[in-house]
Structure 1
């Protein structure tokens, strides 16, 4: 049984992070120096660089400030940005978390705010660390998955192994989230066949068609030069590999960034903005997708890679699963699991799926993932726009 941090909203966390959040790029340096000088593995930097308001960024920041792995919040504002700092603080405080706000223009500038920030982090962390603990079953976990730096091995080793782990977690009553509709082009109809209802199936197809239109307007897709160098030949080939991470369980619904799945099961996270393309590429790096999974409540993210990736995450641990045995040997110090053993005949997909499951439980119980231990806490949040999901996207909620 996992020993978890108990939150006032009934959710449970596997970490107790104090988040230091900057609200505009002008406050980034000050917030980063506060985190660096604190030098604590459980004090993480998050933030939004934009100066003008964006409802998506506001939603994501509020979702992360109240994430079950977050125990407290220190807000760092310049003072004249448009981000609603009072609204963010109010949401965090209403959730029962300690929160303090620093305004650089009112605090006396850089040095004074850094000093005040160090004291604020210490106070917030003391309160957070005194929070209640209690048992948590694996069925209460929310687990996300993404792939980054895919190659010709990804779809035959790491990705289907994650799918096996997902099937096991879903069967035990956990919540699993897969994402990136732009990397599911060509898989929409087989995905729809797994939907709980025909209406949800149609919504799944529509979400992929939206992504395809978006990428067509931009003039490029999610198939990158690195994918081709790694042996992938078509978008559909990449899509089938990415799709295999979802496993074979019925699909319970569609969520968008900041939505919390309302019941256990398997969910698609639609990350492509609604409406006409306005903000460029849907996610400028893998870390943007990790942030969106965290905003949907993911305690842990399973990250598959064939070419190799060294990124991690603020707030939630990232478990790296390497698809390519050569990459696994070359980047051994950055990988949690070598799924490339499947190609070498040293393990089956089922064996690696079980290993992913056990590693996820171990990390939930407190073991540090490799990226955590290395200090990776990357965080990216940019501009997007989304409409709320319709009733067809969450059939169990509609039925209730």
Structure 2
């Protein structure tokens, strides 16, 4: 595809965004109602929050990364007043990146009604400051970071959905852009294939370590990333699913590994390792749902995320548009309101892999230029921020611990 440009938003930290949003963060589940009420009816305001009362390094890093995401222009942080995670700290991080920000505790402002009123007041002030600070700038492919994840996979995911995304990734990187993919727990059995793609010795070392950690994790929880829905869709083993999932990475050299909330060091293709470190492995499961992984990808600075699903999905995401790709034409026809792109045309012979990748690249350019993805248009903004720490209490314990 020829070079393309569009209007973006320049942040004081030098990054460029394709959206100019205000983010409302809440720091405990007790503040979620007020946070959503503050944002209600405001199309340029997105909400993300952390449910737990107890401080958690993973959750804090994630929220700091979201508060300073290139698609976010201003940030309001709302807390109840009892929790360990401090709203003022998150607002300070956002302010340090040049974004207008504010924070408050609901308990300091009288409860639900007054808390919502306070939030609306702060929102109006932030919107005015953001309008004054907004700088428009030209963007091209080389400015983009695109994430990719798959879920609800079937046999077509590895044959068409993921390969089309992978071929698009190859083109994006050839144009100077950046791509990040995840799901190391869906690479079990692929060590040699994965490491053979390393751009250098350091990358090979990091890829080996990430693979080993994912394998240990799956053994420790006695759970591999394959589900009854995958079986119903025609997959039979984790190796089959792994090969299909890995196809979304394309064929470019893998520059290295990044962790959750880490920015990509430079352009190119990167693997996101979201599996908890060994000393955190006693808690939870690294992929409780697709939304958690999408939030991890967004935290790396991904402007938008490709979500490949053979069986269909009805989720979206805040901050970064979600583009839903399916390799199953029947799924696309059955769920056209939710699915953005039909890669199944490759399997029917209506399109070659290269033609489908070019078509997908055009869609990405359109969405970067302001066209709403189908999840955006429907108002889907699902999010999930979990504990990743061996000493953290379970969420159902919450404040009663």
Q: TM-score normalized by structure 2?
A: 0.94
CA contact (8 A) 1:19 1:72 kept: yes
Is 1:87 matched with 2:89?
yes
Answer with 373-382 or 271-280: which moved more.
271-280
Runs of 4+ in 1 over 2 A off after TM superposition: none
Aligned residues: 384
- Counterpart of 2:399 in structure 1 is none
Residue segments in structure 1 that go unaligned for 5+ positions in a row? 387-400
Q: Deviations over 1:288-329 (max 9, x none)?
A: 111111110000101111010011100000111111111111
Alpha-carbon distance in 2 for matches of 1:270, 1:294: 13
Instruction: Tell me the distance in 2 between the aligned counterparts of 1:292 and 1:147.
Output: 13
- Of 219, 223, 245, the residue aligned with 2:222 is 219
State the SS of the aligned residue for 2:252.
coil
Q: What residue number does 2:388 align with?
A: 384
Maintained 8 Å contact 2:28/2:50 = yes
Find the counterpart in structure 2 of residue 393 from structure 1: none
Task: State whether structure 2 residue 34 is matched by structure 1 residue 44.
Answer: no
Counterparts of 1:196-211 in structure 2, within 5 Å, are 196-211=199-214
Aligned pairs for 1:357-368 within 5 A: 357-368=361-372
Query: Do the aligned residues in 1 keep the contact of 2:324 with 2:341 (CA within 8 Å)?
Result: yes
Q: How does 1:1-400 map to 2 (within 5 A)?
A: 1-36=5-40, 39-130=41-132, 131-276=134-279, 277-385=281-389
Quote the Cα distance in structure 1 between the aligned partners of 2:127 and 2:335. 34
How many Å apart are 1:198 and its aligned residue?
2.5
RMSD: 1.2
**Deviation sequence 1:362-381 (CA, Å, 0-9, x none):** 11111111110010111110
Aligned-pair CA distance for 1:340: 1.1
What is the DSSP-based 3-state SS (H/G/I as helix, E as strand, rest coil) of the residue aligned with 1:332?
Answer: coil
1:233 Cα offset (Å) = 0.6
- Distance in 2 separating the partners of 1:250 and 1:287: 27
Rounded to whole Å, the distance in 2 between the matches of 1:295 and 1:366 is: 21
The separation in 2 between residues aligned to 1:326 and 1:13, in whole angstroms, is 35
Cα distance in 2 between the residues matched to 1:159 and 1:31: 36
Residue 396 (structure 2) aligns with: none
